[in-house]
Structure 1
Amino acid sequence: MHAMQYELTLPADYDTDIVRARVSRIGHKLDDWAGLGLKAYLLRERGTHGSPVNQYAPFYLWNTVRGMNAFLWGGPFQGLSDDFGRPAVRQWTGLAYEEGAAAGSPARFAVRCRRPVPDGVVYAEAMREAVEEAGRLAREDGAVLAAAAVDTSRWETVHFSLWEHGEPGAVKADGELFQVLHVSAPGRAGLPGGRQW
């Protein structure tokens, strides 16, 4: 599994209905993309759910690097770059993936939490803790799925989880809360469960 995300931070007065309309119009195009585990089309709106910014920030879990490369170099990403400018694309190596307690429910919210891996830690222990956190998140009421990954160029872990609800106090995950506009999940069933090594 390979995780990927880019963020498009938009002006404070940006009409986020433009993003909603775009996702409604083209989101289905990845519903059968080879090599894609899932793509969550994510939006934060300034002043909603505590967000300080307007931001479109899709999050991907890839089954294959080939599928990811086909997306990046084969057309869809070019269209986004042409419309919004070329964003930095973050990538993480998968540590764990778990289906959640509410796996059959539609995802309405997502939480992303990035944390630095502290200096001086035993790597195996730090990664074990990240895997355990993904498992804990997946067992929470309302969790659709949870994943953990690591970027060794920045020594940073990321936890990503999807939820069927997002009311204050209902989501048992720390991090930035996003609205889920659409989920393309052609290879979700093929994402390897549990620890990835």
Structure 2
Amino acid sequence: MIAMQYSFTLPANYDMTIIDRRIRDKGPLLDNFPNLKFKAYLSARKADAVTSSTENLYAPFYVWEKGEGLSDFICGPGFETLTQSFGWPQVKTWIVWNAEVSKHIRAARFATREIIDIEPYAPLAEIRKRESDAVSADVARNEALASVAAFEPGSWTEVRFRLWADLPKSARQLGAQTYSVGHLSLPDTN
């Protein structure tokens, strides 16, 4: 699996209802997209009391079952249209250690994302196990509706991504980037 995110920082006075409308109109187009575990359409508003963002952001987060799904999307017309509207983003990718999704994922209203530097020569197997176990525990305890732990060996970073029904107070204490979820694209479960 591969996790992926790109982010557009928008001007402080940007009309974020444009992003809300884009999510509403374009979000369902990726429902049932081949090899997509989920896509969370995320936004954050500057000075929003709930997400406490310092910037206006549009920052979708994806988890791909297979690399072909990511490649098909990036090379497809939807991504081309996005880049024509917002520019050519830097796309971050991470190799997924573990990704768990609750059967209640559709109730997600908020997301958190932490990017953590991995110290040189850190015990990667231990980090992988610890982070993978935390992912499983988050969902098993019904604390998160989805939980992802992944790493990127080019920059030696790990990502912790969670979807929530209610934003936990600890998100701000951890220094996590917080988002509102506008839509979730998921595979058909029927």
Q: Does structure 2 retain, via aligned residues, the 8 Å contact 1:144–1:163?
A: yes
| Residues 113 and 134 (structure 1), Cα distance of their counterparts in 2 relative to 1, 3 Å cut | same
| Residues 147 and 172 (structure 1), Cα distance of their counterparts in 2 relative to 1, 3 Å cut | farther
SS in 2 for 1:33: coil
Where in structure 2 are the equivalents of 1:116-195 lying within 5 Å? Answer: 116-166=117-167, 169=169, 174=174, 175-186=176-187
How many residue pairs end up in the alignment? 186
Where in structure 2 are the equivalents of 1:70-89 lying within 5 Å? Answer: 70-89=72-91
Structure 2 counterpart of 1:62: 64
Code of the residue aligned with 2:136 in structure 1: it is: G
Q: Could you tell me the TM-score, scaled by structure 2's length?
A: 0.90
Instruction: Please provide the CA RMSD for this pair.
Output: 2.0
| Residues 35 and 104 (structure 1), Cα distance of their counterparts in 2 relative to 1, 3 Å cut | closer
Q: Does structure 1 retain, via aligned residues, the 8 Å contact 2:108–2:163?
A: yes
Q: Structure 2 unaligned segments of length 5 or more: list them.
A: none
Question: Do residues 110 (structure 1) and 111 (structure 2) align?
Answer: yes
Structure 2 counterpart of 1:195: none
Identity %: 32
Q: Structure 1 unaligned segments of length 5 or more: list them.
A: 190-197
Q: Whole-Å Cα distance in 1 between the matches of residues 31 and 89 of structure 2?
A: 23
SS in 2 for 1:158: strand
SS in 1 for 2:84: helix
Q: Whole-Å Cα distance in 1 between the matches of residues 173 and 106 of structure 2?
A: 18
| Residues 132 and 29 (structure 1), Cα distance of their counterparts in 2 relative to 1, 3 Å cut | same
Q: Whole-Å Cα distance in 1 between the matches of residues 116 and 147 of structure 2?
A: 16
